[in-house]
């Protein structure tokens, strides 16, 4: 009897910890709750270790994620998989064994807030393996440096170095990649790096080979407004809560974590910030850039007075290499044809939607995929044990677009 009572109490406690009220439209909410409970457990353990001075919270969190996910490179009947180096950056390479002699090429940057995950994770390995096989493409998944050992612009420099090497005649010839059919892609923080690389290389007239496509999966693109309609709507929706995204940004930019409350309150983008011109503000004006159905009833939070010293302390907040949404129209217009995926229940939804609009205004052809039941990170949850319906749909549509356009 006591055992049954104890079991009931433990089960109730577990259910209480796992259960989270979610918007009614979220795909398979219980799977998202379980995933969130696991991630919250990892984060809380990491916070405790950090508070005790045992190690940096990010390092422990990444180790726990890696312990669950990282796998060795192994080939199969359809794809040859090896760990290599691209432009001095560790990279996992996926080469189809059959198909045409001259292959398509994709360079991919994983997500994880510039601090977590790896090209060697099972989910990214399976994604790139599937892309290589179905697209008959050489896929190179880059392991750029991570927080806390590296901060901006180290991750950007790794992504740029790997991309330049990817486009070099030597690499294209070695892997039999068609120079007319190459793409840069990434999800979340990796989408940020892919967009920044597409801007830099699109404006580089010294290159003989340029990307034909850029494919951005729920990218993070700006850190000046944490009260867009999607940040307001989804601030408490897992797995990317608003405060966690702010923490990721501060870590990436090497900034003081005590600035978090100021960023959460939009004090860093108040009207008394001399560094923020009207032109800069127009590039993330979601009232003007978003369609009405996404703005809903939400209103901007623009403070008259705030904390003008924040931008001085963290100048990278204004750096287009970190925040590609702030780029000039002329720079955007020289980037390749684009694919932008967004999810309704994602704080980053409006970053992607605003970027797609700005690209179109600059004359770039853009294909948009929006998932009304999607949440941040859903595409990598396309395989067991966290296989989700929206994950499979988004992955299949992403690969289909690449197949039709690359």
What tens digit of pLDDT does each residue of 110-155 get?
999 999 999 999 999 999 999 999 999 999 999 999 999 999 999 9
Tell me whether residue 8 is in a domain: no
Average pLDDT over residues 261-266: 97
What's the predicted TM-score (pTM) here? 0.94
Domain count for the chain, please give it.
Answer: 1
- Calpha distance 156→62 (Å, rounded): 20
Report yes or no: 35 and 377 within 8 Å, Cβ to Cβ: no
Q: How confident is the model at residue 55 (pLDDT cuts 50, 70, 90)?
A: confident
Tell me whether residue 241 is in a domain: yes
pLDDT value of position 195: 98
Cβ neighbors of 26 (< 8 A, separation 6 or more) are 32, 237, 345, 373, 375
Query: With pLDDT > 90 as the criterion, what percentage of the chain qualifies?
Result: 78
pLDDT value of position 7: 42
pLDDT value of position 6: 42
- Calpha distance 171→86 (Å, rounded): 9
For residue 270, indicate whether it is catalytic. no
Tell me whether residue 266 is in a domain: yes
Average pLDDT over residues 296-301: 94
Average pLDDT over residues 29-46: 80
Lowest mean pLDDT among 83-87, 105-109, 302-306, 395-399: 302-306
**Average pLDDT in the chain:** 92
Pairing of strands 89-96, 79-86: antiparallel
121 vs 6 pLDDT, higher one: 121
Report yes or no: 375 and 237 within 8 Å, Cβ to Cβ: yes
Average pLDDT over residues 285-294: 95
- Calpha distance 185→208 (Å, rounded): 20
As a whole number of Å, the end-to-end CA separation of the chain is 64
320 vs 37 pLDDT, higher one: 320
Q: What is the per-residue pLDDT across 193-213, written as a single tens digit (0 to 9) for each? A: 999 999 999 999 999 999 999
- The one catalytic residue among 46, 163, 185, 188: 188
- Calpha distance 60→287 (Å, rounded): 40
For residue 312, indicate whether it is catalytic. no
Q: Domain with 246 in it: what CATH number?
A: 3.40.50.1820
Average pLDDT over residues 19-46: 81
Q: How many alpha carbons lie under 13 Å from residue 97 in its C-beta half-sphere?
A: 8
Question: Could you give the residue ranges of the DSSP H alpha helices within 19-52?
Answer: 29-51
Average pLDDT over residues 358-380: 96
- The one catalytic residue among 110, 227, 268, 376: 376
- Calpha distance 323→208 (Å, rounded): 27
pLDDT value of position 18: 59
Query: With pLDDT > 70 as the criterion, what percentage of the chain qualifies?
Result: 95
Specify the DSSP class assigned to residue 336: P
- Calpha distance 29→22 (Å, rounded): 7
Tell me whether residue 182 is in a domain: yes
Cβ neighbors of 231 (< 8 A, separation 6 or more) are 225, 242, 347, 350
For residue 74, indicate whether it is catalytic. no
- Calpha distance 345→249 (Å, rounded): 20
Is 9's pLDDT higher than 70?
Answer: no
Q: How confident is the model at residue 17 (pLDDT cuts 50, 70, 90)?
A: low
Nearest 5 degrees, angle CA 72-CA 78-CA 80?
45
- The one catalytic residue among 346, 350, 369, 373: 346
Report yes or no: 202 and 364 within 8 Å, Cβ to Cβ: no
Domain of residue 338 covers: 76-406
């Amino acid at each position: 009897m006591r055992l049954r009572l104890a079991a009931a109490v433990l089960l109730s406690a577990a259910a209480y910890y796992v259960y989270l009220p979610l918007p009614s439209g979220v795909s398979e909410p219980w799977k998202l709750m379980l995933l969130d409970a696991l991630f919250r457990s990892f984060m809380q353990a990491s916070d405790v270790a950090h508070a005790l001075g045992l190690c940096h919270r990010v390092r422990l969190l990444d180790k726990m994620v890696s312990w669950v996910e990282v796998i060795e490179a192994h080939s199969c009947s359809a794809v040859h998989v090896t760990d290599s180096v691209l432009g001095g950056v560790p990279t996992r390479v996926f080469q189809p064994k059959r198909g045409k002699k001259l292959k398509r090429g994709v360079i991919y940057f994983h997500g994880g807030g510039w601090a977590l995950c790896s090209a060697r994770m099972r989910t990214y390995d399976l994604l790139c393996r599937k892309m290589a096989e179905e697209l008959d493409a050489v896929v190179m998944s880059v392991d750029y440096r991570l927080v806390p050992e590296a901060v901006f612009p180290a991750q950007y420099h790794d992504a740029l170095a790997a991309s330049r090497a990817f486009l070099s005649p030597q690499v294209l010839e070695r892997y039999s990649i068609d120079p007319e059919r190459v793409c840069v892609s990434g999800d979340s923080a990796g989408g940020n790096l892919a967009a920044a690389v597409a801007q830099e290389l699109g404006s580089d007239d010294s290159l003989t080979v340029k990307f034909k496509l850029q494919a951005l999966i729920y990218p993070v693109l700006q850190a000046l407004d944490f009260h867009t309609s999607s940040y307001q709507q989804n601030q408490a929706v897992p797995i990317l809560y608003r405060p966690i995204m702010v923490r990721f940004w501060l870590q990436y930019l090497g900034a003081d974590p005590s600035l978090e409350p100021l960023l959460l309150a939009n004090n860093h983008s108040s009207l008394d910030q001399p560094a923020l011109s009207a032109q800069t503000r127009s590039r993330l004006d979601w009232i003007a850039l978003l369609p009405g159905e996404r703005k809903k009833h939400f209103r901007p939070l623009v403070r008259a007075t705030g904390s003008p010293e924040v931008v001085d302390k963290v100048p990278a907040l204004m750096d287009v290499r970190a925040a590609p949404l702030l780029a000039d129209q002329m720079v955007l217009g020289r980037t390749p044809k684009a694919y932008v995926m967004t999810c309704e229940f994602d704080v980053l939804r409006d970053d992607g939607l605003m970027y797609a609009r700005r690209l179109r205004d600059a004359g770039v052809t853009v294909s948009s995929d929006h998932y009304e039941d999607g949440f941040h990170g859903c595409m990598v949850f396309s395989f067991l044990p966290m296989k989700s319906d929206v994950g499979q749909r988004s992955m299949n549509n992403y690969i289909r677009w690449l197949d039709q356009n690359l």
